[in-house]
Amino acid sequence: MTQPLGIDRDSYSHDLLVHDTDEELVRATQDFVAEGLDSGGQVLVHSSRERVPLLQDALRPHPRLTWGYDEDLYQSPTATLFAYQRQLALAPEPTQVWVTGTVPLAQGRAAQAAWSRYESMVNVALGSFAFHALCTYDARTLPGHVVEAARAAHPHQGVGPLRQENPDYEPPGAFLANPLAFTPGVPDTAPTADLVLGDLRELHLARSLVAREARASGLPSEARGDFVSAAHEVLANAFRHGAPPVKLEMWVGQGRLTARVTDRGPGLADPMSGVGYPDRGGSVGLWAARQMCEELVIGTSPGGGCSVLLSTG
């Protein structure tokens, strides 16, 4: 019989519970919260407005136990991911954070897949902190592909004496290539604008082009400005770590912006670059860029260099 794996409280854990009954969910939540409170950490339980009362009835109030609603805490994958990261990185002193709850079920396959990629990226973004998560998935109501993607995104499954390594887990970089990740690519249409840069001193030309094209998207000014800054960071990164010529392509639609930056350098081996916190080995430029757009996907360009796709809207 396989021995259960306890949680190293001073390290990181990201566990999955796929449940078929409310009773199973309640028992697992009780066990997880009890361990979090026993560790001296801060514990957050979140779920839908319908599900929170069920869990509140099963747990006693505690000064280190807080509650939240998914609709307030999980508004977008990127914002949620880096909000947790900043909370942990900027805490005045190291604190264990224990979080259990549901990940929102988005409308449409592409939107839901963004949350599946979020679940995978959590392992990089928060993996260097004393952060512990138990993500609960209701097999009675969720589509099979959502549960299957969750199995690929969590290193461990089960709670307490039932906690085990998850044989279906895929490292985040590998998960991006899984069809379940539904990783976004460039639109099927020709670019609405493009530019080839030979020198870092031409960067202002690319920034002006992105700003001009962004105005045609109809996105709010803040979102447009963030996208311009994200593209600038990626372009600058291409010159610092890649090799010219650097090509910028843009696709503009109503309420949507997509850009691809390619270079002729050696390529970037880690598709998760910029997800980790900078002072723990992450890339500062790509880390900033990821927070200023909704999607940032690193790949290999047709010419053998690096390709970075950015999109928002």
pTM of the complete model: 0.92
Q: Could you list the pLDDT tens digit for every one of the 313 residues in the chain?
A: 456 688 999 999 999 999 999 999 999 999 999 999 999 999 999 999 999 999 999 999 999 999 999 999 999 999 999 999 999 999 998 889 999 999 888 888 989 999 999 999 999 999 999 999 999 999 999 999 999 999 999 999 999 899 999 999 999 999 999 999 999 999 999 999 999 999 999 999 999 999 999 999 999 999 999 999 999 999 999 999 899 999 999 999 999 999 999 999 888 779 999 999 998 555 689 999 999 999 999 999 877 889 999 999 9
CA 301 to chain centre: 23
Give the count of beta carbons closer than 10 Å to the beta carbon of residue 60. 10
